[in-house]
Amino acid sequence: MKVIPLEAFNDNYIWVIHSSDTNAVTVVDPGDANPVIDYIEQHNLSLETILITHHHNDHIGGVQTLKNRYQCQVFAPKRDNQPFSDQDLVEGDTVSVLSGEYQFEVIEVPGHTLGHIAFYGHDSLFCGDTLFKAGCGRMFEGTPPVFLESLQKLAGLPHKTKVYCAHEYTLANLKFALSVEPENDAIKKEVEHSQSLRDKDKPTLPSTIGQELEFNPFLRCHQDSVQQTASKAAKTKTFSDPVRTFATIRQLKDNF
């Protein structure tokens, strides 16, 4: 499956999924219509579908313009109740795109927002602002147990799953991850690797679920090293509760 990132705003990526045998494409979270229109016109493509993960403007800002221009189909989370949605999605739904060439399973992942969904299929995960490379989204609408359960669902996907998240936050996330686990060699290695990509202006994405399990502190809330840092920050004796660990490191990240 050919997936191409389009840059938008300061650090958003709009992912373009290409059909293998026609000029049809699907885009995920077009917060801005302009980069999508430029890409489509430049390459003579036809926009067939838009997939939406959640209601924030940097993910939906371009939808109505694109829909008016290309008469494409829009799939969005049911809970967000968007006027532009042609099909409202809930957990377990299957979305078929590009004339049935690709199917994605809908996974509800509340936490960043309560209606947030992710799309999973073909060894790929489009997860918006829920899971980032080496990090996770801010907890705007959810609570720690709810958000952690969502992350845990994603952590349970096959290790080879490619993680297409919506922002280039990797270097800042890794810096924080290293402050949580100073001894973690996977983080140190990834700092070097991601830094070299950014030096060449290349995206650090996608990562894989297998990699995230090694360097993403928010997927490592059951690890002693992460729990120790959380306990220290909370100024209590060492606790081993993953939810409390998640709540504490999420807060640490907010103030990092």
Q: Which residues bind Zn ion (CB under 5 A)?
A: 56, 129
Please select the residue that binds Fe ion; options are 32, 58, 181, 214, rule is CB under 5 A.
58
Decide whether 137 or 242 has the Cβ nearer to Zn ion: 137
Q: Give 133's contacts (C-beta < 8 A, 6+ positions apart).
A: 163, 165, 169, 170, 173, 194, 204, 205, 206, 207, 212, 216
Of 55-63, 119-127, 146-154, 203-211, the window that binds Fe ion (rule: CB under 5 A) is 55-63
Decide whether 54 or 67 has the Cβ nearer to Zn ion: 54
181 scored as a contact of Fe ion (CB under 5 A): no
What is the closest distance, in whole angstroms, from the C-beta atom of residue 81 to Fe ion in the complex?
Answer: 19
* Active-site residue identified among 29, 32, 58, 80: 58
Among Fe ion, Zn ion, none, what does residue 250 contact (CB within 5–8 Å per kind)? none
54 noted as active-site residue: yes
Decide whether 116 or 220 has the Cβ nearer to Fe ion: 116
18 noted as active-site residue: no
116 noted as active-site residue: no
What is the closest distance, in whole angstroms, from the C-beta atom of residue 136 to Zn ion in the complex?
Answer: 11
What is the closest distance, in whole angstroms, from the C-beta atom of residue 38 to Fe ion in the complex?
Answer: 21
* Active-site residue identified among 54, 55, 122, 254: 54
129 scored as a contact of Fe ion (CB under 5 A): yes
- The residue type found at 31 is G
What is the closest distance, in whole angstroms, from the C-beta atom of residue 256 to Fe ion in the complex?
Answer: 18
What is the closest distance, in whole angstroms, from the C-beta atom of residue 54 to Zn ion in the complex?
Answer: 6
* Active-site residue identified among 18, 29, 55, 112: 112
| 3-class SS letters over the chain | CEEEEEEECCCEEEEEEECCCCCEEEEECCCCHHHHHHHHHHHCCEEEEEECCCCCHHHHCCHHHHHHHHCCEEEEEHHHCCCCCCEEECCCCEEEECCCCEEEEEEECCCCCCCCEEEEECCEEEEECCEECCEECCCCCCCHHHHHHHHHHHHCCCCCCEEEECECCHHHHHHHHHHHCCCCHHHHHHHHHHHHHHHCCCCCCCEEHHHHHHHCHHHCCCCHHHHHHHHHHHCCCCCCCHHHHHHHHHHHHHCC
159 noted as active-site residue: no
Residues catalogued as catalytic: 54, 56, 58-59, 112, 129, 167
Residues in touch with Fe ion (CB under 5 A): 58, 129
